[in-house]
Chains A and B, each alone.
Chain A
Amino acid sequence: MTALTPRSRPRRGAGRRSTPVRLAGLALGVALVTGLAGSAQALWSDQAELTGQLNQGLVGFAVTRQDQATAVAVEDKAVAEQESDALTLTLNQDDLETLAHSGQLAIGFDVWLRADGAAGLDYSIAVPSLSTDTITSTFTGLIMGPAQVNIFPVDSPASCTLDQRPTDPVGLSGIEGLPATYAPVKTAVQSWCLTATRSTGGDPSGNQSVYSTTVSARGTDTYGFPASSEQTDDSKWWVNLIDGDIPWGPAWQLTVTHQLTP
């Protein structure tokens, strides 16, 4: 330590070195320290990079209503964030009213897929099963309960029409979206069509009823005596198809799930 002490320590008031000289001295000291420490450490540790960057591929699964390719706004979109997510495509009030009034409905939707690397991706589409209680006591059930539903692949959502319905039902479980063969990036968009038809008259079972042209009503009058009425030329008839107080009921929605393979 003694040897490292400056031999000519500046005396107060006289013989002091100029500022630039001191700066140079300080810099030299720092450089000397750095050099010593660097060479000492280098001797006893060595390392090498074994690999370059490592990449993991992406997975994507989504369902959209309408056709993005034709720049139509997506009305409904569901995106999976994990494999256990169940995506849904829900019929809204307009859909059900369209079916109630016209007796038919056709909705196109897209299934968007991505599975990079060696992963494949399958998916399944499930149609809801309505309980008897739902069918008889809710708006959704009254409309969809008797409806005939078909789901089938189409070229694009825009070509989803009733006349495209296949003769035989299409399997909706374990649909292959992307194969489990290696490629750095694998994507696909598969289009589907949901159609529903129902009779515009009749009971909730969907059967067309036969109405008679004559009718009579019997009951008890306000005095407690039996009373009856018969059809006359002035008779007026109306019917409430659906009670205004009937509950909306559970949403009618397709459930779309996926599985990574193999």
Chain B
Amino acid sequence: MPGPVARLWRGLWRGGLLALTLALASALAWGLWSSEAESANGIITAGDLDLELGPFSWAQTTDSVQTAERQTGASPDSLADFVAAAGDQIEIQQEITTFLSGDNLEAELSLWWNGATPSGWSGAFQLRTAAGELVGQAEIGQSLALPAWAVATTADDSSETGWTVQVELVIDPPVYIDPTNPTAVPTADPTAWGGLILSLNQVRGQAAP
């Protein structure tokens, strides 16, 4: 009879085999999403989906701030240096290129906060063609489907498209501290938030017309 140690190792070995099998089945399922194969032994399709960032710019568009005094910048770093006040409106322009290649590869763009949603802030984004035509708009945290002409439909198809993502942020409310204490930390909210994450994800179903 095998000892307790031997039984333990046998259990681990069988458990590893089960995990391997389940995980491989799961991986195959992922692959099927981009192909029309019906067989459980279907081949993983070599699709591709890519998102590249182009030029970036931002501008303070606050109505109550005179145009000549509005702050602007052309890099994420300069935006990080900017200090927004309650009531500020900020517009971000990010040019992107999407690349879709594969069989029936449809995708959507989503924009979300990297971390917790800043309390009181609101924002939305628009997707425009390189020519500036509005494709769609959504709140931050939601998604926009790429139109049908920008997706890949057959195995040999590919689509490379330039876009502009335009983000509008409204900063509110003010964050108070005790001004008599130079090292005071705001009690209500953090005053620095992680940035915005733009994500391109494959979706199933009919692309937007």
Contact = CB atoms under 8 A, between A and B. Distances in A.
Q: Among the interface residues B9, B31, B81, which one has the most CB atoms of the partner chain A within 10 A?
A: B9
B194 interface: yes
Interface of A: 1, 4-6, 10, 12-13, 16, 19, 22, 25-26, 29-30, 32-33, 36-37, 40-41, 43-62, 64, 68, 74, 77, 79-83, 112-119, 180-182, 184-185, 187, 260, 262
Contacts of B81: 184
Interface in B151-209: 165, 167, 169, 171, 174-180, 184, 186, 191-202
A252 to B, nearest CB: 24
B6 interface: yes
Contacts of B26: 37
Contacts of B13: 10, 22, 25-26
B85 interface: yes
B143 interface: no
Interface in B54-73: 56, 58, 60, 62, 64-65, 69, 71
B175 A45 contact: no
Interface of B: 2, 6, 9-10, 12-13, 16-17, 19-21, 23-24, 26-27, 30-31, 33-34, 44, 46-53, 56, 58, 60, 62, 64-65, 69, 71, 76-77, 79-88, 92, 94, 96, 105, 111, 114, 118, 165, 167, 169, 171, 174-180, 184, 186, 191-202
A44 B34 contact: yes
B178 A46 contact: no
A119 B176 contact: no
Contacts of B60: 118
A130 B2 CA distance: 97
A50 B196 CA distance: 5
A80 B34 CA distance: 58
Contact of B86 (A50, A56, A185): A56
A17 to B, nearest CB: 9
Contacts of B82: 55, 117
B33 A44 contact: yes
Q: Which 3 A-B pairs have the closest CB atoms?
A: A60-B179, A117-B85, A119-B85
25 contacts: A10-B10, A10-B13, A29-B17, A40-B44, A41-B30, A43-B47, A44-B201, A45-B49, A47-B197, A49-B76, A49-B114, A50-B167, A50-B198, A51-B76, A52-B76, A54-B84, A54-B193, A55-B82, A56-B175, A57-B175, A58-B176, A80-B176, A118-B71, A119-B87, A185-B83
Q: Among the interface residues A47, A68, A181, which one has the most CB atoms of the partner chain B within 10 A?
A: A47
